[in-house]
Amino acid sequence: MQDFEYYLKKAGDYHGHICAGIVYGTRISLAAMKALGLNPDLKNKNLIVYTEIDRCMTDAVQVISGCHLGHRSMKYVDYGKFAATFVNTDTGKAVRGTIKEDFKSSDDVNELIKTVASLQEDAVVNLQEVKVAIPEIDLPGFPQQKAVCSACGERIMDGREVNKNGAVYCRACANGKYYQQVERW
């Protein structure tokens, strides 16, 4: 499977090494893009990917799909699963890819690569056709909405503001911050 090895190397170079997550992310990405009729060597402006984990697999998905958080073409959903959903925004067709549960990986990454490369796609990857309703405000492009938090004064993009008692707040001020401010600069 020459394509797999080429893309595996590309993802591994970006990630810094090849591990199980890079192997799985490569197989999922190639299978999903093939199912959607998309070429990983081209810039697919009509592709949005939802990744369900913030681990190694996501680097492979990013490299192979060309989708990025900064371009708003990659979305992160914190499910902690080795899974990703690929959406062709032109056709509306979407597939969610996971690694088969009965697929046994080896602790040796080189053995894992050989095994994954030698198996048919459907022996390694589960692809499920799904529907994803992407709100217009979440599509790539310039922000369609901007607001300013009435508490901290920071700008809020893309409809992420919270309205409370007639005032506009950022989610941090409305619901609590993930950080604690130590001092003001």
**Is position 183 within any domain?**
no
Mean pLDDT over the full length of the chain: 92
Residues 79 and 113 in one domain: yes
Residues 147 and 127 in one domain: no
Query: Which pLDDT value is given to residue 117?
Result: 83
Residues 149 and 131 in one domain: no
The reported pTM is 0.89
The b-or-e profile of 156-178 (16+ CB within 10 A means b, else e) is beeeebbeeeeebbbebbeeeee
User: Phi and psi dihedrals of 15, rounded to 5?
Assistant: -75, -30
Residues 57 and 110 in one domain: yes
Residue 76: how many other CB atoms lie within 10 Å = 13
How large is the C-alpha radius of gyration of the chain?
19
CATH of the domain at 95: 3.30.1330.130
Question: pLDDT tens across 114-139, in order?
Answer: 888 888 888 899 999 999 999 988 99
Residue 124 to residue 117: CA distance in whole angstroms: 10
Q: What is the mean pLDDT of residues 136-145?
A: 90
Decide if pLDDT at 56 tops 60.
yes
Between 62-71, 108-117, 127-136, 141-150, the lowest mean confidence (pLDDT) is in: 108-117
pLDDT > 90 fraction of the chain, expressed in percent and rounded: 76
Decide if pLDDT at 105 tops 90.
no
Residues 131 and 169 in one domain: no
Residue 156: partners with Cβ closer than 8 Å, 6 or more residues away: 146, 147, 148, 149, 168, 170
State the residue range of the domain holding 168.
142-175
Decide if pLDDT at 103 tops 70.
no
Residues 13 and 70 in one domain: yes
Strand residue runs (E) in the chain: 47-51, 74-76, 83-88, 94-99, 125-130, 146-148, 155-157, 162-164, 167-169
Residues 99 and 153 in one domain: no
Number of structural domains in the chain: 2
Residues 35 and 73 in one domain: yes
Strand pairing of 94-99 and 83-88?
antiparallel
Question: pLDDT tens across 78-88, in order?
Answer: 999 999 999 99
Which residue shows structure tokens 């095994």? 115
**Is position 110 within any domain?**
yes
